[in-house]
Structure 1
Amino acid sequence: MMRSQPNHPIWNHSLFSDPCYLEFKRALEQIEVQEHDPAHTLLRQCVPMIEQRLNDMQEHLSNKIDAQRVTSATTSDYITQLVTGKATLSLNINNNDGSPSTLSTFSPPSQQQQQPLPQSSQQQPLPQSSLQQPPSYRMSRGIRTVTDLYREWNDGLAGGYSIISLEQRWGVKWRQ
């Protein structure tokens, strides 16, 4: 206002010559200069664009995370089906000589998993079927105690075959 009406009598009042007012006036003029600063103007124009870009990125990442959750759940379900015997796993392997081989693994039916195995002295070897290939099973390398080894040998781990049942049914063929 002082700039537009410099000769107005109100500006002659002692309040407008007080050091506190003069300091306030300088601070106000400095703010006006900053408002017209090109960098400040540029920031005012860019902030909404930056905000929009960040929102877009957040939405994109959220969609990716949701898709990853679905994939993870599907994989987890399939692994559960493999472990419980509701699904099979087939592997096609090329040997060093170029000849392909196919391995299929399957878990015993869940009804058999719940039945306790008879004592080894009472067990008789199961007849070997020439039509079926032995399952592919590798003994756990994570076993650290005799108790866990005994459990893998007699009961099987995670619903899988017991070593004793593999030996009785397939002999050493399951190890290959």
Structure 2
Amino acid sequence: MSPKISDFGIARSFGGNETEANTTRVAGTLGYMSPEYASEGLYSTKSDVFSFGVLVLEIVSGKRNIGFNHPDRNINLLGHAWTLYKEDRSSEFIDASLGNTCNLSEVIPIINLGLLCVQRFPNDRPSMHSVVLMLSSEGALPQPKEPCFFTDRSMMEASSPSGTQSPITLLEAR
């Protein structure tokens, strides 16, 4: 039960007692990497919290973050969850195959928790210890801030130096 930094493959990149560091080689799975790790190579225990939040949102929605693209807006799964949350329509985020079998009063806080875990800045994300406490309590959760997601991929590519693609789009799976 000793937590380790893992983020889907980066555990092999560093020692057993490290809690944060900087790497020159980005390893992991796109869509689950925290923004600070994907863009700057900075990882910490909050990188795992981000990955956990993505998984939570994927489970609730029945959709994968990688490859999801909203039909009316150029946003990914995190952006879609955030948009519905801000419009007080989080129930629409829940996988339709669940139908009436789920209890909304239990699932809506899980969406809130997932959004808390995918906050843009690591200091805004809860610790995994706090996540476990939030999962086991019935109290009100804090309000999340806007998560890190890219709303316009073409704008992201155009803003990179010399018209080259963003480093995030150049990452390849192992």
TM superposition score category, shorter chain reference? under 0.3
Structure-1-length-normalised TM-score: 0.18
The normalised TM-score by structure 2 is 0.18
* Structure with the greater alpha carbon radius of gyration: 1
**Bigger helix fraction:** 1
Q: Which has the higher contact order (CA 8 A, sep 6+)?
A: 2
